[in-house]
Amino acid sequence: MTLKPYDLLWVAGYLVATLIVGLYFRRRSAASTADYFVSGRETSWWLAGTSMVATTFAADTPLVVTGLVYHYGIAGNWLWWSFLPSGMLTVFLFARLWRRSGLITDVQFTEVRYSGRPAAFLRGFRAIYLGLLMNVIILGWVTKAMTLVLSIALGISSGKALALCLLFLIPFTGIYVSLGGLWGVLWTDLFQFILKMGVVIAVGYYAVEATGGTSAMLARLSGTSVTHFFPNFSAGWTTEAMWTLPALTFCVYLGLQWWAFWYPGSEPGGGGYVAQRIFSARDERHGVLSVLWFNFANYVIRTWPWVIAALAVVVLYPHLEHPEAGYMLVATQHLPAAWRGLLVAGFLAAFMSTLATQLNWGSSYLMVDFYKRFLRPNASEQHYVNVSRRVMVPLLVVAAAWMSWELTSIQTGWEAVLEIGAGTGGVYLLRWYWWRVNAWSEISAMCTALAVWAAVHWGAPFHGSDPVVFAKTTITTTVVTTLVWIAVTLVTRPEPQEKLVSFYRMARPDARGWQPIARLAPDVPETRDVGRNLGAWLIGCALVYAAMFAVGEFCLERWLAGWALTATAGICGVVIYRVYLSRTAWKEA
């Protein structure tokens, strides 16, 4: 694909706009670590929620979705659709608790909830584990995706594309992130999300047009299971048939993954950059609404432009060796010439929005939870902001370079993070609602998951297709990890009463899991809202799934089912608002 001078103007305009935003918020973000990392806790729900969506929409996601549809049909997207229940738990059970805590990072939670050396060790360990290890893997796969995008779009070698990412795009992103802090990230995310959604909608439209239109595309796919929303289980429990997932893998996705696996943006209990955006919200209600909007936009708005383009790839390129590259093939070969500059700018936005959050979020762990906590606890706030601005970019350039070469595919990175975090989710959910969970619970869960994952990959005891091996690996890791952390919890001492009472007063979790502690704080009004919140959770899941599948049915010209699902989503939305989100219901709760 050859770029004309006016295409380069689109790209240059995009880059200048992001830099201006960073410069605009420079002073506002520099006053303190709270201003730099959580925007002074003044963010509106729609801005915080859109920033979450933009962050999860990286350069890798259209490519991975294309690969999933190419191999397993639309049902392959249950790899990430299955995280909706986890996201809705964050909305209705955890968002208010996070905002109420008044933290800057979710890793700080460890020394609010736990005490002593185990808590201090856990805080430092999680800061390095998340701020470096997980951050490196995530940066590795998004950089690998951007390398593939640039090599196809610009017609250059992978080595030159990687050099462009490492020597220009990552440092440039680091400049506007370091200048603007989270305020700069939030507002550039908004601009970037609008830009990249416009681009992927255009790619989907012209891809379908290249097949002869929607009806012609669907006619060529008729008689296959590629357009089914759920896998065809007739192939057997562990057999991978054409365009369908093995039943075992689907069961792991839907029955296990959403509550047992740690994954950035879908953490059980809501952690990571989701928690960071909640901390930045104006109040608890804005925090809840931000995560609700994130989940709706993440699944309902984003899904179908990618999926429709992927179906066109199946029709247009039936024998691709590397299906993830199919998205860029259809974009570069069928998008009109006038869109080429916007295409490149859109993928730059996708890459840089995720990169910006990883830089700001990762540096918050390393700065607040490691450097400030253990190395320089008494320096000025300006010192911490300045160090954050200086150290992260060089460190992460090296990390991204290494991981982008190590990963064999983008999906490999996704699955590696899922496998490493398998089994840890239960402790992240229960630490809010069960007083007996202690620091050793989390330490044992993280260490066991990592050790089991390493042992399974080193010993390679499982056989079968990649989805089956993934399912068996994650089931094993989840079972072993869960048994270990529960056993460790029961054989170790609980946290000191004064620490538990302090946490109970601050967070006010449901009293039924804190009865021994609630009796020590009779002046604190007891909260008993788990049943109500779980009901809202179920309705919220129904709302988003119904809306998501309604859009899909309309895109596939199945009108009756589409209208029925739209009505279902509308009813669920009214119930959620009337019972839970209206100002009257909120005050009563």
3-state secondary structure of 523: coil
Average pLDDT over residues 515-527: 91
pLDDT tens per residue, range 245-304? 788 888 889 999 899 988 877 888 888 889 889 999 999 999 999 999 999 999 999 999
Could you write out the three-class secondary structure of 158-183? HHHHHHHHHHHHHHHHHHHHHHHHHH
Rounded Cα–Cα distance for residues 318 and 338 (Å): 27
Asked if 234 and 388 count as a contact pair (C-beta separation under 8 A), the reply is no
pLDDT tens per residue, range 470-505? 888 889 999 999 999 999 999 999 999 999 999 999
3-state secondary structure of 580: helix
> Does residue 521 register a pLDDT over 70?
yes
Q: In the chain, count of helices (H) and strands (E)? A: 31, 0
> Does residue 5 register a pLDDT over 60?
yes
Rounded Cα–Cα distance for residues 563 and 565 (Å): 5
Question: 273: alpha, beta or left, given left = phi > 0 and alpha = psi -120 to 50?
Answer: alpha
Average pLDDT over residues 345-363: 81
Which pLDDT score, from 0 to 100, does residue 399 have? Answer: 58
Rounded Cα–Cα distance for residues 485 and 434 (Å): 14
456-475: buried (b, 16+ CB within 10 Å) or exposed (e) per residue? Answer: beeeeeeebeebbbbbbbbb
For 523, other C-beta atoms within 10 Å of its C-beta total 5
For 405, other C-beta atoms within 10 Å of its C-beta total 13
Could you write out the three-class secondary structure of 288-319? HHHHHHHHHHHHHHCHHHHHHHHHHHHHHCCC
What's phi and psi for 261, nearest 5 deg? Answer: -105, 140
Burial of 254 (0-12, 13-18, 19+ CB in 10 A): middle
User: What is the residue type of 216?
Assistant: A
Average pLDDT over residues 539-561: 96
pLDDT tens per residue, range 103-122? 888 899 999 999 999 999 99
User: What is the residue type of 312?
Assistant: A
- Long-range contacts at 26-31 (CB < 8 A, ≥ 24 apart): 26/179, 26/180, 28/181, 28/183, 29/179, 29/180, 29/181, 29/182, 29/183, 29/184, 29/385, 30/181, 30/382, 30/385, 31/381
3-state secondary structure of 281: strand
DSSP string for 34-53: HHHHHGGG-B-HHHHHHHHH
pLDDT tens per residue, range 412-425? 666 777 788 888 99
Which pLDDT score, from 0 to 100, does residue 505 have? Answer: 92
Strand partners, 200: none
Burial of 171 (0-12, 13-18, 19+ CB in 10 A): middle
Query: Average per-residue pLDDT in the chain?
Result: 86
pLDDT tens per residue, range 47-56? 999 999 998 8
Could you tell me where the beta strands, DSSP code E, fall in 354-500?
none
Supply 211's token pair.
Answer: 């097949």
In terms of pLDDT, which residue wins out, 468 or 29? Answer: 468
pLDDT tens per residue, range 136-187? 777 777 787 788 888 887 888 888 888 888 778 888 887 777 778 888 888 9
pLDDT tens per residue, range 392-419? 666 666 655 555 555 555 556 667 777 8
Could you write out the three-class secondary structure of 185-198? HHHHHHHHHHHHHH
Which pLDDT score, from 0 to 100, does residue 442 have? Answer: 94
Rounded Cα–Cα distance for residues 530 and 47 (Å): 28
Average pLDDT over residues 59-74: 89
Supply 567's token pair.
Answer: 């009505």
Supply 135's token pair.
Answer: 């951050």
Average pLDDT over residues 192-220: 93
Which pLDDT score, from 0 to 100, does residue 181 have? Answer: 81
pLDDT tens per residue, range 573-587? 999 988 888 776 676
